[in-house]
Amino acid sequence: MKRTTSRPMTWPMTQPIKRTLLHPLRQRFVASAFLASVFALVAITSCFAAPKRPPAKPLDLNAATAAQLQQLPGVGPGTAHEIVSFREKSGPFQRVEDLLAIHGISKVKLEKLRPYVFVKGKPT
């Protein structure tokens, strides 16, 4: 025996989705409020960040640890690790300019680092 129903069966996914769009002015207000809060958050966190102080004495590139290298201006954990890895793979630095072979150190950054680093036997 065949059973028929008077109403077709509907699934929740077949129902039209009601979308409520924000008014264009309200969208702009929400977007600008979000951007303002992100900007304020960045400004606040940068105010509380401790300024990096360069080392009192220049560092020997062939003896400095990654933690000591991070004290240099413009050198973070990644660059410090790259310097130590390069030194372990390629041997000791012959001159300060050898830092240019490391990814992330440009001529400009090298000139900023030069007063704070030296190669033993050849201070610069």
* pLDDT over 70 at 123, yes or no: no
Long-range contacts: 83-87, Cβ < 8 Å, 24+? 87/61, 87/62
* pLDDT over 90 at 3, yes or no: no
Mean pLDDT of the chain: 81
* pLDDT over 80 at 34, yes or no: yes
Long-range contacts: 97-104, Cβ < 8 Å, 24+? 98/61, 99/61, 104/78, 104/79
Chain centroid, CA 23 distance in Å: 36
| Per-residue tokens: 89 | 């793979």
Q: Which residues of 44-68 are buried (b: 16+ CB within 10 A; e: fewer)?
A: eeeeeeeeeebeeebbbbeebebee
Q: What is the pLDDT of residue 71?
A: 92
Q: What is the pLDDT of residue 120?
A: 86
pTM for the whole thing?
0.57
Q: What is the pLDDT of residue 21?
A: 60
Domains of the chain in start order, with CATH, are 59-118 (1.10.150.320)
- Residue 118: phi and psi, rounded to 5, are -155, 165
| Residue 61 pLDDT grade (very low, low, confident, very high; cuts 50, 70, 90) | very high
